[in-house]
Amino acid sequence: MPQQTPIPGHRPPSQRVVVLGSYAPSLTKFRGPMLAAMAARGHQVVAAAPAIDAATAAELRGLGVEPVSIEISNASLNPVGMWRSYRALRRLLRARRPDLILSYTIKPVILGALAGRVEGVARIASLITGLGFAFTGENVVGRRRMVRQVAASLYRQAIVRSDIVLFQNRDDQATFRSLGILPEHAGSAVVDGSGVDIEQYALARLPAETSFLMIARLLKDKGIREFAIAANRIRREHPEVRVSLVGYLDPSPDSITPEELETIKAGGIEFLGKLDDVRPAIAGCRVYVLPSYREGTPRSVLEAMAMGRAVITTDAPGCRETVIDGTNGYLVPVQDAEGLYHAMKKFVLDPALAEHMGMESRRIAEQRYDARKVSADILGHLGL
């Protein structure tokens, strides 16, 4: 589907839209501004995901969106679970007859395209929010290699049935092309992640003392081990520096073990666990750190930027999009604990860096990642 250029003063007619995700809270936390923008333009929007709880449902209704719980198996790409989810989605599409289905994350993208085409949905849009475990690393072997082969095959089937494919960074778009998942003629575009609510994540005063924070699921591919090594070295040399970690153990095969988490905590890193609201944690740090191996667009980095925090992240897909090296933070090589340590040390030796770079982060968040601007861009690509 070619990108539609909006006509000044013209609003597309009301359409029926289904937005499909795999995790109910993400509908409001990550897609809320986009859903609200769809509803505000007069479109009839259904937001579907597994196990939508009462609070999330109420929040969606407050945005003018109808919540619908739908079974999407959490059993990886298990064929039996995928088949049940496929049939459930076909029933939903047959009942609602949408003009457009927009799906994000791997299982909804695959199921949305397959079921949408069979049920005659006029337009199918796939939003690639990151490539995750299967596509991280260059020389992939073992289980990761097998998962990549299966995921790539399923993605190909979905992409060929999609009218528009949206990516959150150009590296993911290039990876899909190099693997033959995204044909050259396919309609695709790159958007700036999901954006961030710059009013909700308002500029916050920096604490007086140098401190670092990382927020992530406790996965090896998030760079948790490199963070621990670099942070422990900083703490040994400068015990007055506070280092905090927000996150939780994940069932992914890439997760660290509970024993490894205990070792990390024993090294002097303050573990805050899983937080429903990360703003107090961000407000309590001077520098935000995310040494991830690959992202779509890292949401936690955008939140930290909006709150005026300097950022240290990796020169990796998705991450490198958020930092202008030396302006609002530093980019370090992937899997380089030594490089991460030296970047952190700069803020210890020159505390004023965090003030200047933090303001640059806020400026970039306002100019590029404001959720209202990002949502308007996405809706433009969808013809809404």
Whether residues 235 and 330 share a domain: the answer is: yes
Domain housing 124 = 16-190
How far apart are alpha carbons 93 and 86 in whole angstroms? 11
Query: Which alpha helices (DSSP H) does 100-182 contain, by range?
Result: 106-118, 132-135, 142-159, 170-178
Whether residues 172 and 50 share a domain: the answer is: yes
Sorted by sequence, the CB contacts under 8 Å of residue 303 that are 6+ apart come out as: 196, 201, 278, 279, 282
How far apart are alpha carbons 219 and 247 in whole angstroms? 10
How far apart are alpha carbons 169 and 39 in whole angstroms? 26
- Nearest Cα neighbor of 17 from 40, 46, 37, 39 is 46
Q: Is 46 in contact with 66 (CB distance < 8 Å)?
A: yes
CA distances from 166 to 59, 98, 156, 296, 371 (A): 26, 19, 15, 11, 16
- Please list the residues that pair with 271 across neighbouring strands: 245
Whether residues 232 and 112 share a domain: the answer is: no
pLDDT value of residue 200: 95
Q: Is 315 in contact with 324 (CB distance < 8 Å)?
A: no
pLDDT value of residue 252: 78
CB atoms within 10 A of CB 191: 18
pLDDT value of residue 5: 46
**pTM, two decimal places:** 0.89
Q: HEC profile for 269-332? A: CEEEECCCCCHHHHHCCCEEEECCCCCCCCHHHHHHHHCCCEEEEECCCCCCCCCCECCCEEEE
Whether residues 257 and 111 share a domain: the answer is: no
Can you list the residues of the chain whose pLDDT is less than 50?
1-9
CB atoms within 10 A of CB 237: 11
Sorted by sequence, the CB contacts under 8 Å of residue 275 that are 6+ apart come out as: 215, 246, 281
Residue 346 lies in a domain: yes
Whether residues 171 and 290 share a domain: the answer is: no
pLDDT value of residue 102: 98
- Nearest Cα neighbor of 285 from 265, 301, 261, 299 is 301
pLDDT value of residue 11: 62
Whether residues 177 and 251 share a domain: the answer is: no
How far apart are alpha carbons 199 and 307 in whole angstroms? 9
Whether residues 216 and 175 share a domain: the answer is: no
- Indicate the residue among 190, 223, 242 that finishes a domain: 190
Roughly how many angstroms between the first and final C-alpha of the chain, as a whole number?
13
What b/e readout covers 192-215, taking b as 16+ CB neighbours within 10 angstroms?
bbbbbbbeebebbebeeebbbbbb
Provide the angle, in degrees to the nearest 10, between the axes of the packed helices 299-306 and 352-364.
110
Q: Which two tokens stand for residue 154?
A: 């399923």
How confident is the prediction for the chain on average, in pLDDT? 92
Whether residues 163 and 28 share a domain: the answer is: yes
pLDDT value of residue 81: 79
Give 173-223 pLDDT, tens digit per residue: 999 999 899 988 889 999 999 999 999 999 999 999 999 999 999 999 999
Whether residues 320 and 350 share a domain: the answer is: yes
In this structure, what CATH number is given to the domain that contains residue 72?
3.40.50.2000
Whether residues 215 and 183 share a domain: the answer is: no
pLDDT value of residue 186: 84
Domains of the chain: total: 2
How far apart are alpha carbons 323 and 314 in whole angstroms? 9
Whether residues 156 and 117 share a domain: the answer is: yes
pLDDT value of residue 284: 97
Q: Is 331 in contact with 320 (CB distance < 8 Å)?
A: yes
